[in-house]
Structure 1
Amino acid sequence: MKTIISFWKNNRLFFFFVMLMCVFRSAVADWYTVPTGSMQPTIEVGDRITVNKMAYDIRLPFSDISLLQLDEPVRGDIVVFESEQASNRLIKRVIGLPGDQVSMRNNNLYVNGRSLNYQLEKRTEREVLLTEQLGENTHQIRLDTQVNTPLKNFSTVTVPEDYFLVLGDNRNNSADSRVIGFVPRHELRGKAGYVAFSLDYDDHYLPRKKRFLTNLYEQP
């Protein structure tokens, strides 16, 4: 018993620090490892993304209980959410807000009857890179020309109250709202902000120096 008490006295600051870090990562901020290319070119496979968990809600630490709603996502936000439909944690871009009418024709998005603006950035045999204007947000999207998918078209849908329509920036290679449906607000876990660091899985897991602290909302 004396040994346990002595151990606690000698290490209580360390345990207190670990506890605070766990609370911080649970309720304030964390990072998320991106395992797929569904958000290319904005997010690469191997990126570690910082997530502001207080962007939309204050949650009870170590739980999914929202104590206070602070804000709502806007079009263009990159959100992390726990998808019950996909049984996985996902990261996608918010396209449609509650009440919006959204459709897609040959990868061209229409929001509330208006086509988004697109500008060609790059074209190769394998892919097309476009700049997409979504409200005040400008970002790049990738179209894989070697993939023939029905996902590039869908009829007009109305986003229900307390739900969001989300898409991946790698439009022909993303299991998003076209597959899993609308995302309920209570599944949101935070807003992605920066690339904390990135490892290149194809190059012996070496760090990608150019991606260090990259702002996800700034064009390259």
Structure 2
Amino acid sequence: MRMIVRLWKANKGFLAFLFLMVIFRSAVADWNVVPSGSMLPTIRIGDRILVDKMAYDLRVPFTHIRLARLHEPQRGDIVTIDSAAAHELLVKRLIGLPGDTVELRNNVLLINGVRAAYRPVGTNLLRSDADSPGEYLAERIDGSARIVRLSPDAPSPRDSFGPIVVPKGQYLMLGDNRDNSADSRYFGFFPRDEIMGRARRVAFSLDPSHDYLPRLDRFGRRLDAPLG
């Protein structure tokens, strides 16, 4: 016991800092490692993304208990989801809001009967495309835009669904890597309470295919930068 007291007295400043940092990461902002390519090309494998945990709610640290609802998630937001259905933390793009009618026809998105506009951006833009060719399109609908990736040689068996209506209090999520993403097509709608925060930027990035060397061009990159 005396040893513990001595350690506390000698290190209380540092221990208090660690405690406050844990509280901060739990309730205010955090960074998450992205181990998969489901959000390519927006988020790369090895990116460490900054997540604003107060983007939508103020919560009791270490819990899902909401103290205040600050803002509502919007179409096009990249969000983190503590998914009970997936049994893990997911990072996906919000596509369907409560009450929306959403349809996907051969990877062409329709929301409330309006077809998304598509513009070719290029093919095989990433180094990883050497193993799995990729086709990239700028997708715009209802004021939101992003670049999506398709896999012509390995299309998803779930490249079409709907039309379906998003229930009250639920959201429909898709990955930007449309042919290689476990999202609402597999796990269904996601409840509002499972949305934990909004991904804003890449904090830093390490390339797992090259001995985890830093990708300096990814540091600080905005995830919601407007398309040209």
* Residue 44 (structure 1) shift: 0.4
Bigger mean CA deviation after superposition, 131-140 or 11-20: 131-140
* Residue 4 (structure 1) shift: 3.5
* Residue 49 (structure 1) aligns with: 49
Distance 1:14 1:153, change over 3 A: same
Residue 127 of structure 1, aligned match among 134, 139, 143: 134
AA of the residue aligned to 1:179: Y
Aligned equivalents of 1:134 and 1:19: distance in 2? 43
AA of the residue aligned to 1:213: G
* Residue 172 (structure 1) shift: 0.4
* Residue 201 (structure 1) aligns with: 208
* Residue 129 (structure 2) aligns with: none
Aligned residues: 220
* Residue 189 (structure 1) aligns with: 196
Aligned equivalents of 2:206 and 2:22: distance in 1? 24
Q: Which residues in structure 2 correspond to 1:109-148 (within 5 Å)?
A: 109-123=109-123, 126-148=133-155
* Residue 67 (structure 1) shift: 1.1
AA of the residue aligned to 1:148: P
Unaligned runs of 5+ in 1: none
DSSP-derived class of the 2:40 partner: coil
DSSP-derived class of the 1:215 partner: coil
* Residue 37 (structure 1) shift: 0.2
AA of the residue aligned to 2:175: G
Aligned equivalents of 2:10 and 2:119: distance in 1? 62
AA of the residue aligned to 2:179: N
Deviation digits for residues 129-163 of structure 1, max 9, x if unmatched? Answer: 00011322221000011113221111200000010
Unaligned runs of 5+ in 2: 125-131
Deviation digits for residues 79-106 of structure 1, max 9, x if unmatched? Answer: 0011111111100000000000000111
- Answer yes or no: is the 8 Å Cα contact 1:75–1:134 preserved in 2: no
AA of the residue aligned to 1:25: R
- Answer yes or no: is the 8 Å Cα contact 1:76–1:134 preserved in 2: no
* Residue 9 (structure 1) shift: 1.9
* Residue 13 (structure 1) aligns with: 13
AA of the residue aligned to 2:43: I
* Residue 3 (structure 1) shift: 4.2
Deviation digits for residues 45-74 of structure 1, max 9, x if unmatched? Answer: 000000000011101011111111111110
Q: Which residues in structure 2 correspond to 1:21-170 (within 5 Å)?
A: 21-123=21-123, 126-170=133-177
- Answer yes or no: is the 8 Å Cα contact 1:40–1:169 preserved in 2: yes
- Answer yes or no: is the 8 Å Cα contact 1:117–1:132 preserved in 2: yes
Q: Give the TM-score, by structure 1 length.
A: 0.96
Aligned equivalents of 1:47 and 1:212: distance in 2? 9
DSSP-derived class of the 2:182 partner: coil
- Answer yes or no: is the 8 Å Cα contact 1:168–1:175 preserved in 2: yes
- Answer yes or no: is the 8 Å Cα contact 2:75–2:96 preserved in 1: yes
Distance 1:15 1:165, change over 3 A: same
Tell me how large the CA RMSD over aligned residues is: 1.4
Aligned equivalents of 2:183 and 2:2: distance in 1? 56
Give structure 1 regions of 4+ aligned residues with deviation exceeding 4 angstroms: none
Q: Percent identity?
A: 49
* Residue 2 (structure 1) shift: 4.5
DSSP-derived class of the 1:150 partner: coil
Aligned equivalents of 1:43 and 1:183: distance in 2? 21
Deviation digits for residues 95-137 of structure 1, max 9, x if unmatched? Answer: 0000000001111000000001111111359221000113222
* Residue 29 (structure 1) shift: 0.3
